[in-house]
Structure 1
Amino acid sequence: MDWLGRIAKLRQWTSGGTRAPHKPLLLLHALGRFQQDADSELRYSAVEKDLQSLLTEYGPPNRTTPAYPFHHLVSDGVWEVRTDHGHGSPGTGVRVLRETGATGRLAPELRTALRGEPELLGRMARLLLDLHFPPSLHSELCEAVGLELEPAETGHLVPARRQRDRRMRELVLTAYEYRCAFCGYDGRIGTVPVGLEAAHVRWWAFDGPDDVDNGLCLCSLHHKLFDKGVLGVDDGHRILVSQHFVGHSPAAREHVVALAGRPLIGPQPGAHPVAADHRAWHTSQVFHGTPRPATAA
Structure 2
Amino acid sequence: MDWLERTATLRQWTKGGARAPHKPLLFLYALGRFQQDADGGLFYSAVEEDLKRLLAEYGPPNRTTPAYPFHHLVSDGVWEVRTDRGPGSPGSAVRELRATRAVGQLAPELRAALRREPSLLGRLARVLLDQHFPPSLHSELCEAIGLELEPTETGRLSPVRRARDRRLRELVLTAYEYQCAFCGYDGRIGAVPVGLEAAHVRWWAFGGPDDVDNGLCLCSLHHKLFDKGVLGVGDGHRVLVSQHFVGRSLAAREHVIALAGRPLIGPQPGARPVAAHHRSWHTSQVFHGTPRPGADLPRSRSREDSRSRPQVSPRTPTG
Q: What TM-score results when the alignment is normalised by the length of structure 2? A: 0.92
Letter in 1 for 2:239: I
Q: How far is the alpha carbon of 1:44 from its aligned partner?
A: 0.1
Q: How far is the alpha carbon of 1:295 from its aligned partner?
A: 1.1
Q: Is there any run of 5+ residues in structure 1 with no aligned partner, and where? A: none
CA distance in 2, matches of 1:156, 1:146: 20
Q: Per the alignment, in what secondary structure is the counterpart of residue 157 of structure 1?
A: coil
- Quote the residue 2:246 is aligned against: 246
Q: Per the alignment, in what secondary structure is the counterpart of residue 266 of structure 2?
A: coil
Letter in 2 for 1:89: S
Q: Per the alignment, in what secondary structure is the counterpart of residue 217 of structure 2?
A: strand
Tell me if structure 1 keeps the 8 A contact 2:243–2:291.
yes
CA distance in 1, matches of 2:71, 2:94: 10
Letter in 2 for 1:88: G
- Quote the residue 1:267 is aligned against: 267
Q: CA RMSD in A?
A: 0.8
Tell me if structure 1 keeps the 8 A contact 2:197–2:219.
yes
CA distance in 1, matches of 2:207, 2:156: 15
- Quote the residue 2:138 is aligned against: 138
- Quote the residue 1:62 is aligned against: 62
Equivalent residue runs for 1:208-287 within 5 Å: 208-287=208-287
- Quote the residue 1:188 is aligned against: 188
Q: Is there any run of 5+ residues in structure 2 with no aligned partner, and where? A: 298-319
- Quote the residue 1:150 is aligned against: 150
Q: How far is the alpha carbon of 1:63 from its aligned partner?
A: 1.4
Percent identity (aligned)? 81
Tell me if structure 2 keeps the 8 A contact 1:82–1:104.
yes
CA distance in 2, matches of 1:217, 1:151: 27
Q: How far is the alpha carbon of 1:158 from its aligned partner?
A: 4.0
Tell me if structure 2 keeps the 8 A contact 1:241–1:292.
yes
Compare CA radii of gyration and give the structure with the larger one: 2
- Quote the residue 2:120 is aligned against: 120
CA distance in 2, matches of 1:181, 1:255: 13
Tell me if structure 1 keeps the 8 A contact 2:19–2:285.
yes
When the two structures are aligned, how many residues end up with a matched partner? 296
Q: How far is the alpha carbon of 1:142 from its aligned partner?
A: 0.3
Letter in 2 for 1:24: P
Letter in 1 for 2:155: T
- Quote the residue 2:304 is aligned against: none
**Residues 11-56 of structure 1: per-residue CA shift (max 9 Å, x gap):** 0000010000000000000000000110010000000000000000
**Residues 128-166 of structure 1: per-residue CA shift (max 9 Å, x gap):** 00000000000000001101101245334142x310000
User: Is 1:170 the counterpart of 2:170 in the alignment?
Assistant: yes
Tell me if structure 2 keeps the 8 A contact 1:178–1:217.
yes
- Quote the residue 2:37 is aligned against: 37
CA distance in 2, matches of 1:269, 1:196: 20
Q: Per the alignment, in what secondary structure is the counterpart of residue 96 of structure 2?
A: helix
Letter in 1 for 2:45: S
Q: Using a 3 Å threshold, how does the CA distance of structure 1 residues 5 and 188 change in structure 2: closer, same or farther?
A: same
Tell me if structure 2 keeps the 8 A contact 1:230–1:242.
yes
- Quote the residue 1:72 is aligned against: 72
